[in-house]
Chains A and B, each alone.
Chain A
Amino acid sequence: MAFLNELAKREERLAPGHRLCPGCGQPIIVRALLNITDYEIVIAHATGCMEVCSGLFPYTSWRVPWIHSAFENAAATIAGAEAMYKVWKRKGKTDKDIKFVALASDGGTYDIGLQALSGALERWHNFLYVCIDNQAYQNTGVQRSSASPFGSNTTTTPVGKVKKGKEQPRKDIVSIAEGHHIPYVAQGSPHAWRDLMNKMKQGLEVEGPAYLNVIQPCCLGWRFPPDMTIEVARMSAETCVWPLYEVIDGAIKINYKPKKKLPIEEYFKMQGRFSHFLKPENKDMLKEAQRLTDKQWEWLLKREAAGL
């Protein structure tokens, strides 16, 4: 317990007065990042809810240097800042220890920012990329993204008589990041704050690029009451929809294995975007969603057992 009391004594580096929805998990995730480290941090932030709502001109909620990027180029922006810092260090213009972080949501990561992300990982910039994944373009009105899960009801994949939500499964972005063979890749969730903070710390400390994927239950787009954000996140881990794991130099470690893996209905029940899954006529869809989840989970378990 004392751990949180120690953290709470520090100065908050994310000021209140931002205009995110009540109950939004994004500032919870950002506060975890800023509170767990004493490093000076420079952030480049891709367009998204958090970026828009924390930087409504002439206000800013950031007490760290923060660059407002476009949708597609947070990773390129931070790569430029980090490259300049390296030159400054070499020329003796600074002796500060500064860490570089790119923040983006799923739209700015899985879709529009993927090229910049891949480039920055491949060029081996020393930075941490945190994707705050709320699984759709929530800020512009809940349009589907390649992070939206199979069957989810979004405004561009609505549930009607013929179509039943998004037809494709979500993109496995963590494996894409892993494909760059960078030293640290992880997936976390805000309910598991200790685990999340550990991952952020490791991502900052490691030499070279690090990628962290964090689930962000969005009360607006996922349709649940605002006080349920953390409960929904917790259920994503209990059902193994969102496994918590890390890949250090290519070897996977699963950080949380539920004693009794709950059926996916338990997670779907909490959210309006999945309500159609619970209707008897959509039983097959529910089975398919469970199959996709099980397949992913078993693959992770097999990898861990094999030390891969």
Chain B
Amino acid sequence: MKIGEKAKWDELLTGGVIEDPGNSVNYKTGSWGIEKPIWNKDACINCMFCWVYCPDSAIKVDKDGNMAGIDCDFCKGCGLCVKECPKPNALAMVLKADIEKKGMDVVFKETFGGK
């Protein structure tokens, strides 16, 4: 049984058991924060430091275990991945409002110099 936020007391399982492991994925934390990281694939060396240090499991991984982008559903914009990334041009924090205003392409070019 899946228990929703509106569950009544007599629908709950004994001991408050949750039968749907990892169901916090239904709670999106991606709206937190005013900044988010953007990723420049060409400069990335797939060291996965961003992955090991992301508190929110918000670094996407491809089938080879390489970096595949930011999961904006969950990224809280802490900036740890950017700080710990060894390549100066692979990750950068930008204002979400800037992306909305100017569009991703422009912000990307401004940030990584069109590389």
Chain A residues with a Cβ under 8 A of chain B: 1, 4-9, 12, 14-20, 22-28, 31-32, 54, 56-64, 68, 190, 193, 225-231
Provide the bound-state CA to CA distance between A22 and B52, in Å: 15
Given A8-B51, A28-B55, A60-B21, does the pair A17, B26 have CB atoms closer than 8 Å?
yes
Residue of A22, A24, A230 touching B84 (CB-CB under 8 A): A230
Size bracket of the B interface:
35 or more
List, in ascending order, chain A residues with CB within 8 A of B16's CB: 57, 68
Judge whether A4 and B28 touch: CB under 8 Å.
Answer: no
Report the nearest B residue to A31, measured CB to CB: B57
Given A22-B32, A227-B82, A229-B80, does the pair A4, B57 have CB atoms closer than 8 Å?
no
B 3-34 to A, binary, CB cutoff 8 A, 1 in contact else 0: 11101000000001010111111111100110
Chain B residues with a Cβ under 8 A of chain A: 3-5, 7, 16, 18, 20-29, 32-33, 45-49, 51-58, 61, 63-66, 71, 73-74, 76-80, 82-84, 93
Provide the bound-state CA to CA distance between A17 and B58, in Å: 10
Judge whether A60 and B18 touch: CB under 8 Å.
Answer: yes
Judge whether B66 and A230 touch: CB under 8 Å.
Answer: no
Q: State the Cβ distance, B63 to closest chain A Cβ, in Å.
A: 7
Judge whether A17 and B24 touch: CB under 8 Å.
Answer: yes
Judge whether B24 and A227 touch: CB under 8 Å.
Answer: no
Given A7-B65, A9-B64, does the pair A22, B76 have CB atoms closer than 8 Å?
yes
Provide the bound-state CA to CA distance between A226 and B55, in Å: 11
Judge whether B22 and A25 touch: CB under 8 Å.
Answer: no
Judge whether A8 and B65 touch: CB under 8 Å.
Answer: yes
